[in-house]
């Protein structure tokens, strides 16, 4: 018994298309009559079922514990545990409650298990027709093996990658793999050359694609994970390991610095205390207080809540975020790699131009719907144009097997997308499909094939004569024409007429239009057997030209311009032909006039390092596969770019998974792509992506100023504690004071800062680099200045009161003035450049309410015995409260004056 080599032994990308059908069958140990049932069973047992392997599911526990990866979270856990061991139960409960709250919010947002490969499995055919023992039989697609002969017909899902043995008017829709909506005409001949793009392999059919028209037989050359669809599944699994987002990296980096700073200060002060003879237990308690002072306990909750609120705001702008950190990552984006079809373009073939009787017409409207009209010289075509337009429309409708249906308010095509576009244009030009079918009944059809490059339909005219309606490639069709329809008459076609028509064809092609010619011929009555292509398709009357393409979305050009002004590079990655991709890119402003697309076959010749060096200079990639897209993403990331990848097809899923932020289209996106993404755009609008970038930048700004507000407060606390310990004074703040400040006095205003309105100029700034720290020189300068001011005021008050009162009273005054300073400073923290009097209080009324309530609570703590015992504070006269409020305003006033000076200096420098 002869067996085929195992699937695993068949090399990926083997050039089956460049071998003859006989050679392929011989290599696979098969025949045109198919395998025997016994041989098929043996191969199935040897190589396994024709199923995609499903990746390991991520369980709820894995997602929950994944929320504890941050360094800052572990610092908080350590602080909470130590506080509990030392008897500070309230401190421990409060700190650990923050940790749990942060984990619960993150878990809720990310609890959906990954289903990318499971969704891919749904795209495969459940049943398939194969030749077994010389007979066609229907079997589960999982039972298909290499060497099986598939029997294909319109409506079938292709069950495995196969080499065609025969094809009769066979057309396949391969958008799942290539992203292009246009049906591909298939043929069984040998294709020369090994470097042929996936979308150009006309003698191959692929798993997961569908048959739009015609019939064929094909021998299976690859099954399961060795198919092109399986290769994509493997790529998704390969990039499945999640990388940290830029924000997570910055916060973790900051957390590590914070650990060493805190440990350094604690070790220094512990050593000084031992030299002075201070009791170790007292030193240990002081060290715990310093550790609590150093850690911004409210930071994880503030960041998580800020991102969660960003998710809510983005949903209102038609962007659904699946993973919390993706909100900020989008704001950090420096490069958006976007698929063309369905993202930048409508995703439906649309006729844009007509040429008939020597006149050129524009066709408006998008897609297959009836919206739009025929325009001549910028205005709606007048009645005098009706006759020639109807003549062309009759050919477009007469030689057409497509049907248009309306589903849920959207028009869709049943049949070939190109014929659907011709049908929509014919209706706009005045044609009536129902009347035509009734008055000109169809008698015979000569289907399109790649050798003739044309198709014909013979219909019976009202006078009982036959007429052939022909559509095809203009050059080939013109060779078969001898007469010309001019609108007024039908006359002989001259050489000058041919040159004129070909010039129009070239002009339309330069506009990235796919051009078809239309013609007809009256025939003598004949039997169907006599109506062959050679007998019918000659001495034709040339009628006109039709130019179509997948048009750019109306809002995409403006969105690309907004990206450019925001310093974001837009790169087009498509499976379409290079000249079409380049034309669309130029129209949208993505590529300059002299730029050309890089094809997938060119990428195969580049090493990863060469691609990394050239990537910043390439704006358009064409005829690329899923693997190419992933390589492009990695090349940009190697250039320190924060990369977003948008798309809707299965072929986009690996790159979407591998990008820093993967964006799927909600309407046209496959389930695979959606599950691989971080964010879903519900209206498939590129402009919504740009709006989400704006939201992301605003969120980062809010997180940054919130972080600065929190750290400046911690810096002030540390300085105050350190100064007092160094000079030998009693501890000015107890752990409960520090926790109160960090969680309530700082934490609540910080939450309000996190939801501050977005700066209107945020999209006029350059994007941040991946390597840029969240705590830059300006950030640290402001933080230390603020800390010095708040610590200075608190120290002066503490020292003054300590000379006249008990340490408990002095602590109460130092604690209160520090709280007042922090609360007042929150108003200035809303902007790094605008002084407080230029920011409307009513744009963040929540902050004003929180500050007023915190003031009241702080004053009440000095006049309520229960709260006083909890906070370990003593009574304070109301007059002293107002005095401390005035002193607490000093840091705010100084910081606002610094802003004014900086702005003046910046203006002079510019």
**DSSP assignments along 217-282, one per residue:** EEEEEE-GGGSHHHHHHHHHHHT-SPPPPHHHHHHHHHHHHHHHHHHHHHHHHHHHHHHHT--HHH
| E-strand stretches of 511-579 | 514-523, 540-549, 569-573
Listed residue (278, 783, 336, 746) closest to 563, CA to CA? 336
Token pair 């015995």 is found at 865
Cα 580 from Cα 550, distance rounded (Å): 9
Q: Which residues pair with 138 in a beta bridge?
A: 129
What is the C-alpha to C-alpha distance for residues 715 and 717, in angstroms, rounded to an integer? 5
- Nearest residue to 200 via CA among 226, 177, 220, 219: 177
Closest CA to 634 of 251, 235, 180: 235
Would you say 169 and 186 are in contact if contact means Cβ atoms under 8 Å apart? no
Rounded to whole angstroms, how far apart are CA atoms 1 and 36?
11
Tell which phi-psi region holds residue 266, choosing left (phi > 0), alpha (psi between -120 and 50) or beta.
alpha
Q: CB of 853 within 8 A of CB of 846? A: no
Tokens 């960041």 belong to 303
DSSP 56: P
Cα 778 to Cα 886: distance, rounded to the nearest angstrom: 28
Cα–Cα distance, 347 to 98 (Å, whole number): 47
Structure tokens at 91: 């401190």
Residue 516 pairs in a beta bridge with 546
Residue 599's SS3 state is strand
Q: Just list the catalytic residues.
A: 339
Instruction: Return the residue matching tokens 């591909």.
Output: 184
For residue 552, list its beta bridge partners: 345
**CA dist., res. 518 & res. 451, Å (int):** 18
Measure the CA–CA gap between 823 and 826, rounded to whole angstroms.
Answer: 5
What tokens were used for 48?
Answer: 């396994």
The DSSP secondary structure of 59-114, one letter per residue, reads -HHHHHHGGG--HHHHHHHHHHHHHHHTT-HHHHHHHHHHHHHHHHHHHHHH-SPP
Task: Judge contact between 752 and 826, C-beta under 8 A.
Answer: yes
CB 72, CB 299: distance < 8 Å: yes
The C-alpha atoms of residue 614 and residue 385 are separated, in whole angstroms, by 51
CA distances from 770 to 291, 335, 535, 637, 706 (A): 30, 11, 67, 9, 20
Neighbouring CB atoms inside 10 A of 305's CB total 18
- Count CA within 13 A, CB hemisphere, residue 386: 4
Distance CA 107, CA 113 (A): 11
Tokens describing residue 773: 């720290």
**Phi and psi torsions of 258, nearest 5°:** -60, -40
CA distance 474 to 797: 91
Q: Which residues pair with 405 in a beta bridge?
A: 412
* Torsion 492-495-500-502 (CA) sign: positive
The 3-state secondary structure of 818-854 reads HHHHHHHHHHHCCCCCCCHHHCCHHHHHHHHHHHHHH
């Amino acid at each position: 018994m002869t067996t085929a080599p195992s699937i695993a032994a068949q090399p990926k990308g083997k050039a089956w298309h460049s071998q003859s059908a006989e050679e392929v069958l011989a290599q696979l140990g098969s025949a045109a009559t198919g395998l025997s049932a016994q041989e098929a069973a043996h191969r199935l047992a040897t190589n396994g079922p024709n199923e995609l392997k499903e990746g390991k599911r991520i369980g709820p526990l894995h997602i929950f514990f994944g929320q504890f990866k941050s360094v800052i979270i572990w610092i908080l856990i350590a602080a909470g545990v130590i506080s509990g061991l030392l008897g500070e139960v309230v401190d421990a409960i409060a700190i650990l409650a923050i940790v749990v709250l942060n984990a619960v919010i993150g878990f809720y947002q990310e609890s959906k298990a990954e289903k990318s490969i499971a969704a891919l499995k749904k795209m495969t055919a459940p049943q398939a027709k194969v030749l077994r023992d010389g007979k066609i039989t229907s079997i589960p697609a999982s039972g298909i093996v290499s060497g099986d002969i598939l029997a294909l017909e319109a409506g079938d899902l292709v069950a495995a990658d196969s080499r065609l043995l025969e094809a009769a008017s066979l057309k396949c829709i391969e958008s799942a793999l290539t992203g292009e909506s246009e049906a591909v005409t298939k043929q069984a001949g040998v294709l020369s050359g090994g470097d042929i793009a996936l979308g150009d392999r006309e003698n191959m059919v692929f798993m997961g694609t569908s048959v739009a028209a015609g019939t064929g037989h094909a021998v299976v050359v690859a099954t399961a994970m060795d198919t092109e669809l399986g290769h994509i599944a493997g790529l998704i699994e390969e990039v499945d390991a999640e990388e940290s987002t830029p924000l997570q990296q910055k916060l973790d980096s900051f957390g590590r610095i914070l650990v060493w700073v805190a440990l350094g200060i604690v070790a220094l002060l512990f050593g000084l205390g031992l030299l002075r003879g201070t009791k170790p237990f007292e030193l240990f308690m002081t060290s715990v207080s310093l550790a609590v002072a150093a850690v911004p306990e409210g930071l994880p909750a503030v960041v998580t809540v800020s991102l969660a609120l960003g998710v809510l705001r983005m949903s209102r702008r038609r962007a659904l975020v699946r993973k919390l950190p993706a909100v900020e990552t989008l704001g950090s984006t420096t490069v958006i790699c976007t698929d063309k079809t369905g993202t930048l373009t409508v995703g439906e073939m649309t006729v844009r131009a007509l040429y008939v009787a020597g006149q050129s017409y524009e066709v408006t409207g998008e897609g297959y719907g009836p919206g739009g009209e025929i325009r001549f010289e910028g205005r709606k075509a007048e009645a005098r144009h009706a006759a020639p337009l109807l003549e062309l429309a009759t050919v477009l409708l007469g030689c057409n097997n497509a049907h248009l249906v309306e589903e849920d308010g959207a028009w869709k095509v049943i049949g070939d997308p190109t014929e659907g576009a011709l049908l929509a244009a014919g209706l706009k030009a005045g044609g009536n499909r129902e009347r035509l079918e009734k008055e000109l009944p169809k008698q015979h059809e000569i289907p399109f094939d790649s050798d003739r490059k044309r198709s014909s339909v013979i219909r019976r005219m009202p006078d009982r004569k036959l007429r052939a309606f022909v559509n095809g490639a203009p050059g080939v069709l013109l060779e078969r024409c001898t007469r010309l329809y001019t609108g007024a008459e039908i006359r002989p076609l001259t050489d000058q007429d041919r040159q004129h028509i070909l010039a129009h064809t070239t002009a339309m092609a330069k506009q990235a239009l796919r051009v078809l010619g239309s013609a007809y011929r009256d025939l003598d009555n004949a039997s169907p057997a006599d109506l062959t292509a050679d007998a019918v398709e000659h001495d034709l009357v040339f009628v006109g030209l039709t130019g179509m393409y997948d048009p750019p979305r109306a809002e995409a050009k403006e969105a690309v311009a907004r990206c450019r002004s925001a310093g974001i590079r837009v790169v087009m990655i498509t499976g379409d032909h290079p000249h079409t991709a380049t034309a669309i890119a130029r129209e949208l402003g993505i590529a300059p006039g002299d730029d050309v697309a890089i094809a997938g076959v060119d990428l195969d010749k580049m090493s990863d390092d060469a691609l990394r060096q050239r990537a910043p200079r390439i704006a358009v990639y064409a005829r690329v596969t899923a693997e190419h897209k992933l390589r492009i993403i990695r090349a940009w990331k190697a250039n320190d770019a924060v990369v977003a990848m948008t798309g809707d097809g299965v072929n986009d899923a690996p790159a979407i998974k591998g990008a820093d932020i993967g964006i799927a289209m909600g309407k046209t996106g496959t389930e695979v792509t959606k599950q691989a993404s971080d964010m879903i755009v519900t209206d498939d609008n590129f402009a919504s992506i740009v709006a989400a970038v704006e939201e992301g930048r605003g969120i980062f700004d809010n997180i940054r100023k919130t972080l600065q507000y929190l750290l400046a407060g911690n810096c002030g606390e540390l300085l105050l504690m350190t100064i007092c310990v160094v000079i030998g004074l009693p501890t000015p703040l107890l752990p409960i004071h520090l926790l109160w400040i960090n969680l309530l006095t700082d934490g609540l205003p910080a939450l309000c800062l996190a939801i501050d309105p977005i700066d209107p100029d945020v999209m006029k700034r350059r994007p941040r680099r991946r390597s840029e720290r969240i705590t830059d020189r300006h950030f640290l300068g402001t933080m230390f200045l603020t800390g010095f001011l708040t610590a200075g005021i608190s120290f002066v008050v503490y020292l003054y009161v300590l000379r006249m009162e008990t340490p408990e009273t002095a602590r109460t005054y130092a604690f209160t003035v520090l709280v007042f300073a922090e609360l007042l400073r929150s108003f200035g923290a809303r902007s790094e450049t605008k002084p407080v009097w230029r920011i409307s209080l009513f744009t963040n009324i929540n902050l004003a309410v929180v500050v007023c309530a915190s003031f009241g609570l702080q004053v009440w703590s000095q006049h309520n015995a229960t709260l006083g015992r909890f906070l370990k504070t003593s009574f304070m006269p109301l007059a002293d409260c107002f005095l401390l409020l005035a002193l607490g305003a000093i840091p705010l006033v100084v910081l606002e004056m610094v802003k004014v000076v900086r702005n003046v200096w910046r203006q002079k420098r510019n």
